[in-house]
Amino acid sequence: MADLIQFPRGFGQQDIVAWGTTGLVCLDVASQTVIKTPHDDDNSRRVQVEKMIYERFDQRGGHIGLLRYYGTYDSGIRLELAPNWNLSSFIRKHPETGIEQRLRWARQITDALCFVHAANVIHGDLTLNNVFLTQDFDIKLADFGGSSLDGSELLVSVHASHRYPGPLLSTDADIFSLGSAHYTIMTGKLPYQDLPEEEVTALFKDGIFPETDTLGPFGAIIRKCWQVKYKSVADVYKDIEDCS
């Protein structure tokens, strides 16, 4: 198996820290960065899309809530290391995490998505699996390989628990997914976690969402995301600030 993997130059099986459907991520210990490369030529398009998106972010000055981009490496890209890995895993392992920390994460993710949309990028796969944590447990929104740049097609489909029942190539779809991400941050669960995907899809299509009243003012923000009552992510951020 290892003989078939296209490792970036100078790296091997012992350096793999993450593995996805389209590529792998290797740790460069010396620089404390990661190298993300496609498995093969068929998957190189997504890495190229991610490269162009990170270059767009750099042109706009970058954002503290996104992984820092360090350019290309072989067929891939070099990115900042987020050593505490993804937020989804962290929340599952640490259900005792307090409300102030959860609100901080929700605020940081929303702020990062504001910047992403301002750069004319639609994320398309906004789940906590694609939100990473720094050494200080600040968030880094990541994984733009399937995203849309300047209206290009999405190369990814988000999980049903985060999937907008309307047009997916839209800021509304990201805002809907943001609501589901916030719900997971606050409850530790995916929306309708125990239901089959087709049932979740049907419920969302009918405008039926999980109960959020017990989450107080933040529950109202989540519901407004799902009901697409926000015109922009900036409006979501303002409401989060007001309830913090």
Backbone angles phi, psi at 238, to 5 degrees: -60, -45
Question: Do 113 and 216 reside in the same domain of the chain?
Answer: yes
Cβ 132 vs Cβ 91: under 8 Å = no
Please tell me the total count of domains within the chain. 2
Q: Measured between alpha carbons, how far is 113 from 105 in angstroms, rounded to an integer?
A: 12
Shared-domain flag, residues 94 and 46: no
Read off the pLDDT of residues 73-89 as tens digits, 9 standing for 90 and up: 988 999 999 999 899 99
Token pair recorded at residue 167: 């047009």
State the residue range of the domain holding 54. 2-80
1 pLDDT more than 70: no
Residues 71 and 93 in one domain: no
Residues linked to residue 185 through DSSP beta bridges, in sequence order: none
User: Residues 103, 73: one domain?
Assistant: no
Same structural domain, 232 and 141: yes
Scored b (16 or more CB within 10 A) or e, 166-182 reads: eebeebbbbbbbbbbbb
What's the CATH number where 36 sits?
A: 3.30.200
Is residue 232's pLDDT more than 90?
A: yes
Please name the amino acid found at residue 168: L
Condensed to tens digits (0 to 9), the pLDDT of residues 120-148 reads 999 999 999 999 999 999 999 999 999 99
Residue where a domain stops, chosen among 80, 101, 136: 80
How far is the C-alpha of 46 from the C-alpha of 38, rounded, in Å? 8
Residue type, 203: L
Stated pTM of the model = 0.93
